[in-house]
Structure 1
Amino acid sequence: MRAAALASALPLAIALACSPAAAEVEADTPAEEEREAITVTGVRQSYRGDFALKEIPQAIATIDEAVIEENNILRLTDALDLNASVVRQNTLGGLWDSFAVRGFTGDENLPSGYLVNGFNAGRGFSGQRDVAGIERVEVLKGPAAAVLGRGEPGGSINLVTKQAELGRTFGTASLQYRSFDTVRAEGDANVALTGNLTARLIGYAESEDTFRDTVEQKRWGFLPSIGLGIGNTRLTYDFEWTRVEVPFDRGIVVLNEDFDTVPRSRFLGEPSDGDTVARATGHQLRLQHDFSDRWSLLVGASHRDTLLTGASSDAETVRSRQKLYIDGRSLSRQRRTRRYTSEHSVLRAEISGEFETGALRHRVLIGGDFDYFDTDQFFTRYRGPVVTPTTTDQAGYLLDLQNPVYGRYPVPATAPITNRLDVQRTMGAYVQDQISLTDRLQIRVGGRFDDFLLRVDNRLTNMLGRRKRSRFSPQAGIVYEVSDPVSLYVAYGEGYRANIGADANGNVFEPETSKSVEAGVKLSALGGRLTGTLAVYQLEKSNVLATDTLNPGFSIAIGKARSRGVELDLNGKLPGDVDVLLSYAYTDAEARSRVLDPNFSFQIEPGDPLINIPDHNLNVQASKRFTLDNRHVLLGAGVQYVSKRNGETGTDFTLPAHTLVRLFGQVEVADGVELFGSVTNLFDDHWYANSYSPVWVQPGSPRTATIGLRATF
């Protein structure tokens, strides 16, 4: 059925791509003076158009490969910490990526979606994404759903991968060791097979003991890219093959606001549960054809399969079933097994170009896409009874927090709780026109139409739910260039995103809708070496989902939510050749509806803060390159501050603020060989990455040191 749907959608995408209005798309968003750096071997970027950053009525922040490498970052989650608009959310025991942009996340019971080279590709159960193979991370903030489609109103994350560079041969290889017996090897080789055919082979392997007792993990990946150039046409194929093996780990418990209830290293599951395995296999094929220097066509397809399977022993979240609240040391636990799979297929096409009507210059994007996503979830659980004087420790599957004895009781038998197939199918078309009214004034208008179908097949109840909707999402923006270094902008957009699944009672969720407005100032100073954006915004959402803390694995609709705030991003080089990165965000995100669960009296009031969203978030770093004894040296330091934030939906449980300091450096020890190192959490602060409830709190890593060698050729 899906193959037939894909086939039927392809003519629509191609037809949209071949419409007469068009505008050029660049691989980056370069300023005029930067265009000389772009070569014909580059790959153009979807959705963006031929615009300098200061012309775009939207805040965009980029975390490039150099910054990721300097900080010795291994995971996407850690890379996103460098931008203050993005904050961590519940990661399912560290087994998926989950984040909020400008205070809003999606369904907390699914991984956060992101784009890969412009394709919706982040959904699924593939484990936390490794940064190997990533050239840069783009944080596309604000009301961009009119073009991107199906994203959060706070913004979208786009990963631009390292792709085969035609006609060149080069490579790097590295080996590093870090605290907790972590060993990692990584390689990247770009090999020109002929003048027009190049293969880029990227791979990594990692083994880690971790700071958590009994928790070890292994991960590896192979991420090759093949590039073929024929005249003005380029064909690129990317492959993804990754695997993660790690015990499911819900973190620590916090009793009566005491974050020292147990050491941050204490594992509260069962080592005999073994590893939870997450794996992904993905394909992405893109064709780029330049009709001229003003017209370009992009057509592509992607497909990705993921699997997450394993067992865990998790702290019981319902107070009446939790003995910990009676004696202060006996943790009642659930036993769970899960097997989650997903398939995600995308077809998309876009034509872009520019033309004039009289004195007006038009830069236009016209495109269409087809998105098919299914997720099959089979989840079983054992839950102990309500605690009474006669409840046995075995019935509660207890673990003594002060003196844990693993394997004390037989593994309890579980029963199916979820056995459900969710299928989402969306077809969309979009158009955007940015019109230059004068040399300094531009307006952007556009919109997107989506036709959406969600089918929920609940095998436990033999019920089939279905919801079909369509919607038009408009956007508009104005950009005014005050002077060469300063421009002002304002933008408005509406969004539309499917809420996958059903609540604990089997009700299929209505789609989420949103409205966004933002205004800002963009700076390009010191000859373009220092760029920045100051933005203010307000976002409103309806049909918002939040975690149902009394029915883990399910969500509840809390109605409306609002986020508003102020952001500042600066990036570039100061006099004295000091590289700086500064990102600050003030975020006020809250529920705007009253929700009462009649069974458990679970209450959300208007004004309640959204979970895991700090009011203040700051990241700043500085680094300098210099020469010592004819060898290249880099030294740098950074600080991240995260203010206190809510740790459980609908309650007053709060995670404390934290400040983390990091140092990093590189030194050339021989031609083509450098020694690198870093220390994160320099002062060994006790911090907490995210929380679901007081008995599911994820502690952050203690002081961690890294040292390694990297060779280039």
Structure 2
Amino acid sequence: MAQEQASGADILVTGVRQPYRGDFALSEIPQAITGIDGETLQQNAIVRLTDALDLNASISRQNTLGGLWDAFAVRGFAGDENLPTGYLVNGFNGGRGFGGQRDVAGIERIEVLKGPAAALLGRGEPGGTVNLITKQADLGGSFGNAALQLGSFDTIRGDIDANLLVTDGLAVRLVGYAEDGGSFRDTVEQNRRGLLPSVGLALGRATRLTYDLEWTRVAAPFDRGILVLDGDFTSVPRERFLGEPGDGDTAARANGHQLRLQHEFSDRWSLLVGASLRDTLLTGFSSDAELVPSRQRVYVDGRSLSRQRRSRRYDSRQWVIRAELSGEFDTAGLTHRVLVGADHDRFDNDQLFFRFRPPAIATQTSDGAGFVIDILDPEYGRLPLPAPGLLNNRLDTQRSTGIFVQDQISLTNRLQVRVGGRYDDFALRTDNRITGVTSHSDRGRFSPQAGVVFEMSAPVTLYAAYGEGFRANIGTDVTGLIFEPETSESKEVGAKLALFGGRLTGTLSAFQLDKSNVLASDTNNPGFSVAIGAARSRGIELDLAGKLPGAVEVLVSYAYIDAEARSSVLDPNFSFQVRPGDPLINIPRHNGNVQLSKRFTFSGRNAQLGAGIQHVGSRSGETGTAFTLPAHTLVRLFGEIELTKGLELFGTAQNLFDERWYANSYHPLWVQPGTPRTVTVGLRATM
């Protein structure tokens, strides 16, 4: 929300409004919205978006392309497996490119916008959307901090965040980070850099212009993880790298720009106009386990892993323009709060992909022909690196334009109703440069939204919501056929809570989501998709945050999610039958996170101690089979103490009891092991 200071009839804009929000308290919104603030990220020394989202139980990890992009599911639905999971950055679509896993250095807070809001946001998953609020130039004054931290596996990292008030109407915020180090995985090291500055300019007392830059670079080996033979998760140590160090690093980069204009006409009406441009590029080689049984020797002798070798060049450009008018007026004794806007989005996805794969197993098949590695005693570089052949050379261009309107009407002091809708027009063009086939698709759809909010008492507000969604499926199947758009229907009821005089707030909700024309990645033809029909997700969630008596800070998040296929489909890759009721991959039924912390004084110095526990239930590790990832429970500790004024020592211990756990899986030969016990210590200076 914007920070505003009244001076007679004037409004002084010092902060930034958030798009799609309007002028509403969270308790008035018929939707479950939870947040992860910067302090929580700092307490836990979290540096990756994927790790940050573990704090919200409604979010489940998905396959991350060997650790090179962000992939997650909200309320059981993950979206397109061939692209990173989409998310918003300050309200702009910004997560579909190939810039590597997002660092949290430039993030002020994370909003998880759950439920049937597609009629307003457009083009998202029905389970919800993640919106990243970045650290933006603040016209209120100068401040800053810098941190240096050392961690397990020879990791060293530096961060800086400095807001400089240049004049009364101009501020510059400098945010940057650099990280180098190894990992618990053999031979795997990484290098990360980022600059995320922001400039804020006041154009008069009621108008603000904000510019944000994103410049990030990531270099790390592509890593598919470990394998699991016959259900034995100790088939190889979790440290064992089954690729080839000779492949070198996969490099990912992102260059992004956002320009936003905010104008306050009065204390009741405001305008937001903005544009965003983001270019990303991912390039590199990888050596991955072959998944087809007839080509895989490890199923014969239990130790010789046949591998593919792949080369990728994924290039994307996304630009968005949007405008939004929000305000309120009274008519016939009723107060209307309206939101009207439009946006246009273009996404270019250019993929060049090469692959070598081993032949079918025969008695005369040599180690070189199968590009084999011994999983029990690996010898890297023993075999020449095979030259992959061209498999995919395609450009997908998606254009989409949407207009939306929403009206929330106060019928009484306690009862509000919300009605709204969005019309989207999509155009998709796919140019297959190998076959010369060009495919086109144009679609349009209106998506309605409705909700009701009733304040039952000061501590409890009840709500219900319904919404429909529409998202074009980008890309084609291997024959060049463009898929029908994905459609969804969402229902949700819940209660907003404000306990202990508002010191502890939260949401209890129940939901059901249905969607059709769901896609999955085509493993035999990387970069292409296959249709798996319909799916459904339903569940119950509880989120609480605030302070308990005794000034103990608490964060609680729990979700029960039953996500399953609703169609009968024959999987084209491995001939497994996907049946109605089969669980969706990587979605646990039970997921929970609890964190407690307390601030106190020790020898006259300010200090804090805290602990957290995360439980993730068992979940499907492969579509259409009984392969299951086991449940895990991870414990973490964190603390900090002030050494002198403006200087503090901090430390964390993640996975305190060194539990063996698994982050995600696509197949028993592609399983991502979780990080063992990790300790971090550092110094933070604040001005």
Q: Place the TM-score, normalised by the shorter chain, in its bin.
A: over 0.9
Which segment is superposed worse, 551-560 or 277-286? Answer: 551-560
Check the 8 A contact 2:13/2:208 in 1, yes or no: no
Residues 379-390 of structure 1: pairs in structure 2 closer than 5 A: 379-390=353-364
SS in 2 for 1:394: helix
**What residue in structure 1 maps to residue 81 of structure 2?**
108
Amino acid at match of 2:247: D
Asked if residue 669 in structure 1 is aligned to residue 616 in structure 2, the reply is: no
Runs of 4+ with deviation above 6 angstroms = none
Residues 63-142 of structure 1: pairs in structure 2 closer than 5 A: 63-142=36-115
**What residue in structure 2 maps to residue 176 of structure 1?**
149
Whole-Å separation in 1 of the counterparts to 2:13 and 2:480: 53
Residues 345-364 of structure 1: pairs in structure 2 closer than 5 A: 345-364=319-338
**What residue in structure 2 maps to residue 548 of structure 1?**
522
**What residue in structure 2 maps to residue 285 of structure 1?**
259
Match of 2:182 among 176, 186, 209: 209
Unmatched tracts of structure 2, length 5 or more: 5-10
Residues 40-51 of structure 1: pairs in structure 2 closer than 5 A: 40-51=13-24
SS in 1 for 2:338: strand
**What residue in structure 1 maps to residue 589 of structure 2?**
615
**What residue in structure 1 maps to residue 234 of structure 2?**
260
**What residue in structure 2 maps to residue 62 of structure 1?**
35
Residues 12-23 of structure 1: pairs in structure 2 closer than 5 A: none
Deviation of the 1:167 alpha carbon: 4.2
Deviation of the 1:597 alpha carbon: 4.7
For residues 88 and 297 of structure 1, do their structure 2 counterparts lie closer, same or farther at Cα, with a shift above 3 Å needed? same
Check the 8 A contact 2:620/2:629 in 1, yes or no: yes
Check the 8 A contact 1:561/1:591 in 2, yes or no: yes
Amino acid at match of 1:680: Q
Asked if residue 342 in structure 1 is aligned to residue 316 in structure 2, the reply is: yes
**What residue in structure 2 maps to residue 464 of structure 1?**
438
Q: What do the CA deviations read for 1:129-177 (whole angstroms, capped 9, x no partner)?
A: 0000100000000000000000000000000001001141111000000
**What residue in structure 2 maps to residue 533 of structure 1?**
507
Check the 8 A contact 1:619/1:641 in 2, yes or no: yes
SS in 2 for 1:484: coil
Whole-Å separation in 2 of the counterparts to 1:222 and 1:597: 43
State the TM-score, normalized to the length of structure 1.
0.94
Match of 2:130 among 154, 157, 167: 157
Amino acid at match of 1:173: A
Whole-Å separation in 2 of the counterparts to 1:664 and 1:406: 38
Asked if residue 575 in structure 1 is aligned to residue 559 in structure 2, the reply is: no
Whole-Å separation in 2 of the counterparts to 1:530 and 1:600: 50
Deviation of the 1:293 alpha carbon: 0.4
**What residue in structure 1 maps to residue 8 of structure 2?**
none
**What residue in structure 2 maps to residue 483 of structure 1?**
457
Amino acid at match of 1:77: T
Deviation of the 1:630 alpha carbon: 1.6
Which segment is superposed worse, 506-515 or 62-71? Answer: 506-515
Amino acid at match of 2:44: N
**What residue in structure 2 maps to residue 449 of structure 1?**
423
For residues 697 and 597 of structure 1, do their structure 2 counterparts lie closer, same or farther at Cα, with a shift above 3 Å needed? closer
Whole-Å separation in 2 of the counterparts to 1:539 and 1:220: 39
Q: What do the CA deviations read for 1:98-135 (whole angstroms, capped 9, x no partner)?
A: 00000001111110000000111111000000000100
Deviation of the 1:529 alpha carbon: 1.0
Q: What do the CA deviations read for 1:622-671 (whole angstroms, capped 9, x no partner)?
A: 00001112211000000000000001111111100000000000100010
Whole-Å separation in 2 of the counterparts to 1:458 and 1:383: 22
SS in 2 for 1:527: helix
Residues 411-450 of structure 1: pairs in structure 2 closer than 5 A: 411-450=385-424
Match of 2:340 among 349, 352, 366: 366
Amino acid at match of 2:31: Q
Match of 1:296 among 270, 273, 278: 270
Deviation of the 1:460 alpha carbon: 1.0
Amino acid at match of 1:102: R
Check the 8 A contact 2:598/2:610 in 1, yes or no: yes
For residues 696 and 598 of structure 1, do their structure 2 counterparts lie closer, same or farther at Cα, with a shift above 3 Å needed? closer
Amino acid at match of 1:408: R
Residues 200-279 of structure 1: pairs in structure 2 closer than 5 A: 200-229=173-202, 230-279=204-253
Whole-Å separation in 1 of the counterparts to 2:270 and 2:99: 33
**What residue in structure 2 maps to residue 587 of structure 1?**
561
Check the 8 A contact 1:167/1:197 in 2, yes or no: no
Amino acid at match of 1:586: Y
Deviation of the 1:599 alpha carbon: 7.5
Whole-Å separation in 2 of the counterparts to 1:607 and 1:505: 29
For residues 27 and 642 of structure 1, do their structure 2 counterparts lie closer, same or farther at Cα, with a shift above 3 Å needed? farther
Whole-Å separation in 2 of the counterparts to 1:197 and 1:597: 57
Whole-Å separation in 2 of the counterparts to 1:110 and 1:635: 39
Q: What do the CA deviations read for 1:169-209 (whole angstroms, capped 9, x no partner)?
A: 11100000000000000001101111100000000000011
Whole-Å separation in 2 of the counterparts to 1:598 and 1:509: 16
Amino acid at match of 1:164: A
Residues 621-632 of structure 1: pairs in structure 2 closer than 5 A: 621-632=595-606
Deviation of the 1:65 alpha carbon: 0.5
Amino acid at match of 1:205: A
Check the 8 A contact 1:334/1:381 in 2, yes or no: yes
SS in 2 for 1:79: helix
**What residue in structure 1 maps to residue 163 of structure 2?**
190
For residues 40 and 597 of structure 1, do their structure 2 counterparts lie closer, same or farther at Cα, with a shift above 3 Å needed? closer
Whole-Å separation in 2 of the counterparts to 1:158 and 1:250: 28
Whole-Å separation in 2 of the counterparts to 1:101 and 1:431: 25
For residues 672 and 467 of structure 1, do their structure 2 counterparts lie closer, same or farther at Cα, with a shift above 3 Å needed? same
Match of 1:606 among 549, 556, 580: 580
Whole-Å separation in 1 of the counterparts to 2:629 and 2:388: 32
Which segment is superposed worse, 406-415 or 193-202? Answer: 406-415
Aligned length: 680
Whole-Å separation in 2 of the counterparts to 1:46 and 1:708: 36
**What residue in structure 2 maps to residue 692 of structure 1?**
666
Asked if residue 645 in structure 1 is aligned to residue 622 in structure 2, the reply is: no
State the TM-score, normalized to the length of structure 2.
0.98
Whole-Å separation in 1 of the counterparts to 2:299 and 2:685: 55
Deviation of the 1:495 alpha carbon: 0.3
Amino acid at match of 1:40: V
Amino acid at match of 1:71: N
Deviation of the 1:600 alpha carbon: 4.9
SS in 2 for 1:159: strand
Q: What do the CA deviations read for 1:238-296 (whole angstroms, capped 9, x no partner)?
A: 00000000000000000000110100000000001000000000000000000000010
Amino acid at match of 2:90: N
For residues 161 and 328 of structure 1, do their structure 2 counterparts lie closer, same or farther at Cα, with a shift above 3 Å needed? same
Whole-Å separation in 1 of the counterparts to 2:171 and 2:614: 40
